[in-house]
Amino acid sequence: MSQDASSASAMNTEANKPVTSASAPQSPQPHAHRKSVLPWIAGFLKPYKTRVIAAIVFLFIGSLAWLSLGQGVRLMVDEGFLQENGNRLNEIIMLVIGITALSSSAIFCRFYLMTWLGERVSADIRLKVYDHLLKLSPGFYAKLRTGEVISRFTADTTLLQSVVGSSLSMALRASVTVIGGIIMMGFTSIKMTGLVLLAVPMVLVPIFFFGRKVRELSRKSQDRVGDLGAYVDETLHEIHTVQAYSHEDQDRALFSNRVEAVMDAARGRIWYRSILIALVMFLSIFAIALVTWVGAHDVMSGGMTGGELSAFMFYAVMVAGSVATISEVIGDIQRAAGASERLIELIEAPIDIPTVNNPTELPAKVRGEIKLTGVRFSYQDIQDSQLKQTEKTDASGTSAPSIDTEVIRGLDIHIQAGERVALVGASGAGKSTLFELLQRFYCLNAGTIELDGIDIAQLKPQTLRQQYALVPQESVIFATSVLENVRYGRLDASEEEVFKACEAARAHEFISEFRDGYHTYLGERGVRLSGGQKQRIAIARAILADRPILLLDEATSALDAISEHKVKQALDSLMVGKTTLIIAHRLATVLNADRILVMEKGRLVASGTHQELMKSSELYREFASLQLITET
């Protein structure tokens, strides 16, 4: 959605230049951030550089201590066994035990620090991702399923935690061991070390080739897991509908297809990783066997001692084992790289509601005057929107969006402060979309919306939304207590204020019947409440918020006649002195409104009182007779 034309010109000065461009969320592009994965993870480790350095130091101490054992093996053979010197052998054994104790202590410190870093980095990534997700508009979640986001948020960060805390540590330790082992082999025998180095390229080639394939397939596997999670999330959230329509068998089959898709994606990754491990193991042992054969002939010819050959073989086995470790954990590291790419895509998803460097401040007391001028809006994808606007821009630079895709089409409305306005129109007329635009959940294609004479594009979104109290038709209940659900409207409210709001919303009576009263846990999406009870909780939340503008999406539609009468009394007192917009489906609502706005296909086609519109608007007369629910 492009920024509205008027606010664009208003923000033309450098002081109010948008910080973020208006861009709708786009589907993540695979491998878009491959080169930035390692620096990205390093950025999360930077605040803990002291622990990272300490972990690396202990890693080197532990690895070097293990490497020095090779010299202990040489001394045991040459100065102990071959010379039959028991005292010297005892000294060497004590030295080996001391080195082992030092290495074990270093391993403890390194393992503790690396595991802590894995947990800490995973926690920090979750915090950063969640913080960014809260800034993204509803348009983003309309394009990427919530289950997919949750999969990235949980499974991918858990994978990173495992890799940073364990696999990465193992890879670093193994790399140090490989390098140190080759150096120590060089001190023992240059000729045999040269033979080992000739075999190194044979081992590295499969690591790089198959490692790249594992990374690509890991990314695909994670995507399939995300799709699986999204389907589970959707099915379980709508379990009532699933079971009511006996759709279990069909959902079971569809879920099975997604599980098999996960297996298909994982099969290739497992295949290449298995080949990688097998090849590395074979080539490493093959190289060791060949070098041992050469070394044995050197010992028999007197070219080197038995202790030197033993030490060399000790280092060769350590190097081979470390290479095998690298080949095993490289798959985990490549999977983590794929997971990182998916998380980076979330963090770098553009915030599609632009803000300004120097936002305008609202007055201390907001009157609630709303003015829409030439408002146009569509839900089309931002890329299509930008293309069409580029093609349709005239010489003056004014965009002319395609009307075929617009939900709001050139809307001009002026609502006075404290006015009570009812919005009437058929489904798809743009009433709910208008509520979304007033709260700036989407950017306009063209036109402006002003609050008390201030373009809302010049306000911080949070500041703007704090002026609205919303009661949607489908009430939102969070999986927490009654008290916290109502207090959602004003976090600093006391319990006494919550009680009064619930009494005003005629909710106190049924809340008091709960065993735990206001501390009753309401379950996910309020499953323990009836539709009418949910709506009264939502109304209590709006009453507690006490904001200058009310947005009521037929707030009494789910109430029985008695409760509706009581809640209407509460709403009537609540609406005094407040600007109120009501999406109306009942005749009583429009009769009590100061003005009725009749909308059709995103346009305002008539305005007036009920009596005026019954005389002047044929569309309203038809709507009133057929669609407005009359009381019996």
Residue 573, Cα to own-chain centre: how many angstroms?
Answer: 41
Region at 296 (left for phi over 0; alpha for psi -120 to 50; beta for the rest):
alpha
To 10 degrees, the CA torsion angle through 67, 68, 73, 78? 130
290-305 per-position pLDDT tens digit: 777 877 877 777 777 7
**DSSP 8-state symbol, 481:** B
Does residue 357 contact residue 465 with C-beta atoms inside 8 Å? no
Exposed (0-12), middle (13-18) or buried (19+): which is 259, by Cβ within 10 Å? middle
Tell me which residue of 585, 538, 533 sits closest to 559, measured CA to CA.
533
319-363 per-position pLDDT tens digit: 777 777 777 677 677 777 777 777 887 787 777 777 778 888 888
Does residue 203 contact residue 325 with C-beta atoms inside 8 Å? no
Confidence at 15, pLDDT banded by 50, 70, 90? very low
Cα–Cα distances in angstroms (integers) from residue 134 to residues 3, 129, 141, 344, 490, in the given order: 21, 9, 11, 16, 18
Confidence at 414, pLDDT banded by 50, 70, 90? very high
pLDDT number for residue 262? 78
Confidence at 315, pLDDT banded by 50, 70, 90? confident
Higher-confidence residue: 115 or 90?
115
Confidence at 73, pLDDT banded by 50, 70, 90? low
Give Cβ neighbours of residue 306 (< 8 Å, ≥ 6 apart): 77, 78, 82, 299
Give Cβ neighbours of residue 39 (< 8 Å, ≥ 6 apart): none
Tell me which residue of 352, 346, 353, 327 sits closest to 40, measured CA to CA.
346
What domains sit in the chain, N to C, each tagged with a CATH number? 25-347 (1.20.1560.10), 476-546 (3.40.50.300)
Strand ranges (DSSP E) for 390-445? 408-415, 420-424
Alpha-carbon distance of 249 to 233, in angstroms, equals 17
Amino acid at 283: L
Confidence at 403, pLDDT banded by 50, 70, 90? very low
Position 32 pLDDT exceeds 60? no
Residue 47, Cα to own-chain centre: how many angstroms?
Answer: 22
Give Cβ neighbours of residue 504 (< 8 Å, ≥ 6 apart): 540, 543, 570, 573, 574
For 605, phi then psi, to 5°, come to: -105, -15
- Angle at the Cα of 119 (from 116 to 122), degrees rounded to 5? 145
What residues form DSSP beta bridges with 411?
375
Tell me which residue of 576, 595, 573 sits closest to 584, measured CA to CA.
595
Higher-confidence residue: 373 or 249?
373
Mean pLDDT of the chain: 76
210-235 per-position pLDDT tens digit: 767 776 777 677 677 767 767 776 67
pLDDT number for residue 398? 38
Higher-confidence residue: 393 or 497?
497
Exposed (0-12), middle (13-18) or buried (19+): which is 525, by Cβ within 10 Å? middle
225-273 per-position pLDDT tens digit: 767 767 776 676 667 667 766 777 887 888 788 888 878 777 777 787 7
Give the mean model confidence (pLDDT) for residues 186-210: 74
Higher-confidence residue: 45 or 327?
45
Does residue 538 contact residue 472 with C-beta atoms inside 8 Å? yes
Does residue 355 contact residue 460 with C-beta atoms inside 8 Å? yes
Confidence at 538, pLDDT banded by 50, 70, 90? confident
Exposed (0-12), middle (13-18) or buried (19+): which is 182, by Cβ within 10 Å? middle
Share of the chain above pLDDT 90, in %: 2
Give the mean model confidence (pLDDT) for residues 603-625: 85
What residues form DSSP beta bridges with 301?
none
Q: Alpha-carbon torsion 318, 324, 328, 333, what sign?
A: positive
**DSSP 8-state symbol, 363:** P
- Angle at the Cα of 233 (from 227 to 235), degrees rounded to 5? 100
Tell me which residue of 582, 383, 587, 549 sits closest to 469, measured CA to CA.
549
Does residue 24 contact residue 143 with C-beta atoms inside 8 Å? yes
Does residue 324 contact residue 280 with C-beta atoms inside 8 Å? yes
Give the mean model confidence (pLDDT) for residues 108-137: 84
Give the mean model confidence (pLDDT) for residues 99-107: 85
Position 615 pLDDT exceeds 70? yes
Share of the chain above pLDDT 70, in %: 79
Confidence at 81, pLDDT banded by 50, 70, 90? low
Give the mean model confidence (pLDDT) for residues 550-561: 74
Residue 334, Cα to own-chain centre: how many angstroms?
Answer: 21
Alpha-carbon distance of 115 to 121, in angstroms, equals 10
